[in-house]
Structure 1
Amino acid sequence: MPRFLLGYVRVVDGFNRRVGRFAMYGIFVMMGILLWSSISKTFFLPSLWTLEMAQFAMVGYYILGGAYSLQLGSNVRMDLFYGGWSDRQKAWVDAFTVFFLIFYLVILLMGGYESTSYSFQYNERSPTAWRPYLWPVKVTMMIGILMMLLQAISEFLKDVAKLRGVEI
């Protein structure tokens, strides 16, 4: 396998591992927001921002952790057949099916770009009482989709290397 492809796999895997490990702590951010929501509704005036902010935090948590989840092999698979296959058979199937994922992620990225550029162009805001700008969550989604796309390509390269008898 060429040196630059090995470098690509190492850089993408390392970056996604660091971002994914950081994103894991987003669960505590969501818990804090929802805890404050419960406290403010019980003892004070209800906050307008808590539900939507928890949703935005959840978007960051899931979308930024997606590439790391793909890297760890934590994605959902149909293990009815897959679990009994050899590593080589799994690599063949994964190397083929990753193209469907890449196609899907490219379409998501194109749609996300359109939506994000619209959000910037028109200063799009949420139609709720709090009315936050939507571009931060859309940019987060674009970054997460791009990270997943880069990780899917990395997984493809690792599968091809495994088929050639080289372990990355």
Structure 2
Amino acid sequence: MLKFAATYVRVVDRVNYVLGRIMMYSLFAMIAILLWSTISKQMFVVPSFWTLEMAQFALVAYYLVGGPYSIQMGSNVRMDLFYGEWTDRKKAWVDSFTVLLLIFYLGVLLYGGIDSTRYSLEYGERAPTLWRPFLWPVKMVMCFGIFMMLLQAVSELIKDIAKLREVEI
């Protein structure tokens, strides 16, 4: 079982590391979209209606697919009032408890995201804007990001349990 857990942690961490690095550079795509929006409004006096929504969709991908990388690197927001002074063992106890809450929350989000994506695919749901893009692509990205974050949360739980058991993974 320990070998499976170590393999799981290694594979999930590696995949989320690569995805996180890719998403880090996708921020430039969002900048390019917003730059085009500004240029088209100033030079052509015709606003591009699609730019704001595309920038929002890019931000959703950046945030949700890059989120597991943030968790893996420990750069997520923490209340460090007491946490910084605790021992590694106490941190592992608290982290293992809070990651269980995160896993539950992500499970609920994934359930709702899959249901919403299914609805969007079934009925051809479109955004209620002038451009009216289909919503299923961004909802699929959302589900993928939540799923990867769920896998990373389980990886973090395994690492915390290993730290509590004083086992090297």
Which residue is equivalent to 1:158? Answer: 159
Which residue is equivalent to 2:32? Answer: 32
1:99-135 CA distance string (max 9 Å, x none): 1100100000000011000000001111111111000
Counterpart CA distance in 1 for 2:111 and 2:57 is 21
Residues 60-71 of structure 1 aligned to structure 2 (within 5 Å): 60-71=61-72
Counterpart CA distance in 2 for 1:64 and 1:109 is 13
Determine if the alignment matches structure 1 residue 125 to structure 2 residue 116: no
- TM-score normalised to structure 2 length: 0.97
4+ long deviations beyond 4 Å: none
Q: CA deviation at 1:167?
A: 3.3
Residues 1-168 of structure 1 aligned to structure 2 (within 5 Å): 2-44=2-44, 45-168=46-169
Residue identity in the other structure for 2:30: M
- TM-score normalised to structure 1 length: 0.98
1:35-93 CA distance string (max 9 Å, x none): 00000000111111100100000101101000000111111111111010011110011
Unaligned runs of 5+ in 1: none
Counterpart CA distance in 2 for 1:136 and 1:167 is 40
Counterpart CA distance in 1 for 2:168 and 2:130 is 54
Residue identity in the other structure for 1:10: R
1:4-27 CA distance string (max 9 Å, x none): 111000110000000010000111
**Matched-pair identity in %:** 66
Counterpart CA distance in 2 for 1:110 and 1:68 is 22
Residue identity in the other structure for 2:21: R
- RMSD of aligned C-alpha atoms? 0.8
Unaligned runs of 5+ in 2: none
Counterpart CA distance in 2 for 1:57 and 1:159 is 32
How many residues of Structure 1 are paired with residues of Structure 2 in the alignment? 168
